Chains A and B, each alone.
Chain A
Amino acid sequence: MTDQSATMSILKDYILVEFLPGEDPGHLTPSTPLVSTGILDSLAMLKLVAFIEREFDIPVNAHEVDEEHLNTLQSICALVASKRSLVR
């Protein structure tokens, strides 16, 4: 499993358990909108950011806690990847 797909899997599992309990995992695709559809509200975004920081040991900046960076699994993975490249 590549870094990217492992990250996607970890994030998908977390979002399904925390914010979409009982949802068919097949319905959560890399491009499913999360923020604009209200799956992630403001509180959920804070929880997700706290999880990302803890799980991947990376800091997330204030201006990144928004729709642009957190709206899809794809964009979240891209955020994580960009942070990891800075840490390395």
Chain B
Amino acid sequence: MDFAWSDEQMQLREAVKSFARDELNVGLKERDKRGEFSRDGWLKCAKFGIHGLPVPADYGGMGADPLTTVGVLENLGYGCRDNGLVFSINAHMWTVEVPLLDFGSEPQKRKYLPDLCNGTLIGGNAMTEPGSGSDAYSLRTTAERRGSRYVLNGSKTFVSNGNVADLIVVYATLDRSAGSNGICGFLVEKNYPGFRVGRPLEKMGLRTSPMAELFFDDCEVPAENRLGREGAGQSLFMHSMNWERACILSNAVGAMQRLLDISIRYARDRKQFGQSIGKFQLVGSKIVDMKMRVDQAQAALYRTAWLSAKGRNVYLEAALAKLTISENWIRCAEDAIQIHGGYGYMVESEVERELRDALGSRLYSGTSEIQRVLVASMLGL
């Protein structure tokens, strides 16, 4: 394995870090309090090229390989403290752009990918329903073919970007008796008749990433907007989840490094009992644990991306990366608060928000428990 960055990759990593630091953090505390999405930040990131990282230049993207992509996102996460904004971008990339790229027809790619890359369109993914979470394929939203259209009926919840999305990948069943083999994906535009956005959902963390319920009441979708063949929804979703597991926490590795850096700085500057608190071994050992976790997370991320670039499926590695990074991110955020003491618990310090943002990573894209089930199974258990 070779994780050495080329000069070009290094320049891109540094450029995104300073772009993010300079452009994306203004007003974050207030946006977090209000649960407000930054469309300005969204468009700036699109202009920089973030949204189109994994998309070939022919469709308006950057055409970056997986390792370059995760490296850029890692540095975006270091510079941008708005974890919610980056989460929204991740949802857009891994659950809309990538499935469209790998399962979409040529006209679908031509129609949607350029505007998804330039930020004009915001993408969302609607799989989860009130009664189906980890058991995703037990969904109840139905699709029925009527002439040149499909008619969708049902509801979705926990849809990231749901209330700002222009284009949503919706999973519905054409035949419940066929179980997971009856599921199909559809590209649903927000203005299709019968599509309705429900109430916005307020979250503990990642508050700047909007989330909503969606309703489909005889929602009419043109047949040409079916994504993949009829019944291919399961493979579409598996593919989408695999990319998501592999890459969605790239920015978290950067965020962890940022937490480590501010914790080291604080432990050196903060004096108690006549010396820097970092000189106390109990504080120093927390910093060492943070460093260990950042390195573990980074190794898992790079290894998965490197293997993916070799063209092989990375089911095991992606699940392990997701599990490793999410658990380590949370532990890092907890340690950062503990090192900062009472100040770290204050909203003003902006350290407590990092823990709130990190906690969701144990839940989305498959809970930590589901990742363990997947890994155990892939190990032959």
Q: Report the stretch among A3-11, A21-29, A37-45, A74-82 that lies at the interface.
A: A37-45
A66 and B235: CB pair below 8 A? yes
Tell me if B232 and A53 are in contact (CB < 8 A).
no
Interface centre among A35, A59, A65, by most chain B C-beta atoms within 10 angstroms, is: A65
Judge if B17 is at the interface, Cβ distance under 8 Å.
no
Given A41-B180, A42-B137, A43-B377: A63 and B235 within 8 A (CB)?
yes
Q: Is the CB of A50 closer than 8 A to any CB of chain B?
A: yes
With A35-B181, A36-B178 in contact, is A46–B235 under 8 Å at CB? no
Q: Residues of B contacting A59 with CB < 8 Å?
A: 311-313
Query: Do A38 and B179 have beta carbons less than 8 Å apart?
Result: yes
Taking residues whose C-beta sits less than 8 angstroms from the other chain, chain B's interface range is 20 to 34
Interface size on A, residues (CB 8 A): 23
Report Cα–Cα, A16/B353, bound state, in Å. 50
Docked complex Cα distance between A46 and B241 (Å): 12
Chain B residue, CB-CB nearest to A60: B313
Q: A42-B180, A46-B238 are in contact. Are A67 and B231 (CB under 8 A)?
A: yes
Is A84 in the interface zone, CB < 8 Å from B? Answer: no
Asked whether A65 and B180 contact (CB < 8 A) given A49-B313, A60-B313, the answer is no
Known: A35-B181, A36-B181, A41-B180. A46 touches B232 (CB 8 A): no
A62 at the interface (CB under 8 A from B): yes
Give the chain B neighbours of A63 by CB distance below 8 A: 102-103, 228, 232, 235, 239
Interface residues of B (CB under 8 A from A): 102-103, 137, 178-181, 228-229, 231-232, 234-236, 238-239, 242, 311-313, 315-316, 373-374, 377-378, 380
Instruction: Name 23 A/B residue pairs within 8 A (Cβ), A-sorted.
Output: A35-B181, A36-B181, A42-B234, A43-B374, A43-B377, A46-B313, A46-B315, A46-B374, A46-B377, A47-B377, A49-B313, A49-B315, A50-B313, A59-B311, A60-B313, A62-B235, A62-B238, A65-B238, A65-B239, A66-B181, A66-B231, A66-B235, A67-B181
